[in-house]
Chain A
Amino acid sequence: MQIGLTHYLTASGILFAIGLAGIILRRDMIIIYMCLEIMLNAANLALVAFSRYNSNLSGQVLVFFVITVAAAEVAVGLALIVALFRVKHSTKAEDITLLKF
Chain B
Amino acid sequence: MNALFVLCSPECFLTLSALFLLLWQAIAKPNYKSVGILVLASYLISGVLLLPFVDNQGIYWNGLYVWDKMAVLWKVFFLITGFLVTYLSLESNSLITKGRAEFYTLPLLTTAGMALLASVRDFILLFVGLEIVTVSFYILVAFQKEFPSALEAGVKYLVIGALASSFLVMGIAFVFGITGSTQFDEVARFAQNNPVSTPLVLGLIFVLVGLGFKASAVPFHVWTPDVYQGASTPITSYLAVGSKAAGFVVLLRVLNLPFYDQSFQKHWIPLIVLMALLSVILGNLAAIPQRNIKRMLGYSSISHGGFLLMGLSAHNTIGCAAVIYYFFAYLVAIFAAFLVVILLEKNQPSGISIKDFNGLYQKNGLLAWSMAFAMISLAGLPPLMGFFGKLMVFLAAWESGQHLLVIVGALCAAAGLYYYIGVVRAMFWAEPETVQRIVLSPATKVLLWILSIGSILLGFYAEPVIKLVGAVLS
Chain A window 59-100, contacts with chain B (Cβ cutoff 8 Å), 1 for yes, 0 for no: 101100110010011001100110110011000000010111
Given A61-B124, A73-B135, do A23 and B159 touch, yes or no (CB 8 Å)?
yes
Contact of A99 among B149, B159, B173 (CB under 8 A): B149
A53→B170 CA distance, assembly (Å): 17
Residue of B nearest to A91 (CB): B155
Query: CA–CA, A32 to B166, complex, Å?
Result: 13
For chain A, the count of residues having a C-beta within 8 Å of the partner chain is 42
- Is B401 on the interface with A (CB-CB < 8 A)? no
Minimal beta-carbon separation of A21 from chain B (angstroms): 12
Q: Which residues does chain A contribute within 8 Å of B131, judged by CB atoms? A: 69, 72-73
B124 touches A76 (CB 8 A): no
Residue of A nearest to B146 (CB): A87
Cβ of B153: which chain A residues have Cβ within 8 Å of it? 99
Q: Is B369 an interface residue (CB 8 A)?
A: no
Q: With a CB–CB cut-off of 8 A, which chain B residues contact A16?
A: 166, 170
Q: Which residue of B lies closest to A54 (CB)?
A: B180
The proximity string for B residues 295-330 relative to A, scoring 1 for CB distances below 8 Å and 0 otherwise, is 100000000000000000000000000000000000
Known: A16-B170, A58-B182, A72-B135. A80 touches B155 (CB 8 A): yes
> CB-CB < 8 A to A61: which residues of B?
124
Complex: A62 Cα to B170 Cα, angstroms: 11
Taken together as a complex, chains A and B put the C-alpha atoms of A61 and B181 apart, in Å, by 12
Which residue, B153, B166, B174, has most C-beta atoms of chain A within 10 A? Answer: B166
A20 closest partner in B (C-beta): B163
B269 at the interface (CB under 8 A from A): no
Is B176 within 8 A of A58, CB to CB?
A: yes
- Interface residues of chain B, those whose CB is within 8 Å of chain A, are 123-124, 127-128, 131, 135, 138-139, 142, 145-146, 148-149, 151-156, 158-159, 162-163, 165-166, 169-170, 172-174, 176-177, 180-182, 225-226, 229-230, 286, 295
A→B interface (CB under 8 Å)? 16, 19, 23, 29, 32-33, 36, 39-40, 42-44, 46-47, 49-51, 53-54, 56, 58-59, 61-62, 65-66, 69, 72-73, 76-77, 80-81, 83-84, 87-88, 96, 98-101
What 7 A-B pairs come out closest when comparing CB atoms? A50-B177, A39-B166, A43-B169, A46-B173, A43-B170, A99-B226, A36-B162
7 further interface pairs, Cβ-Cβ under 8 Å (given A40-B162, A87-B146): A16-B166, A29-B155, A56-B180, A58-B176, A62-B124, A80-B138, A80-B151
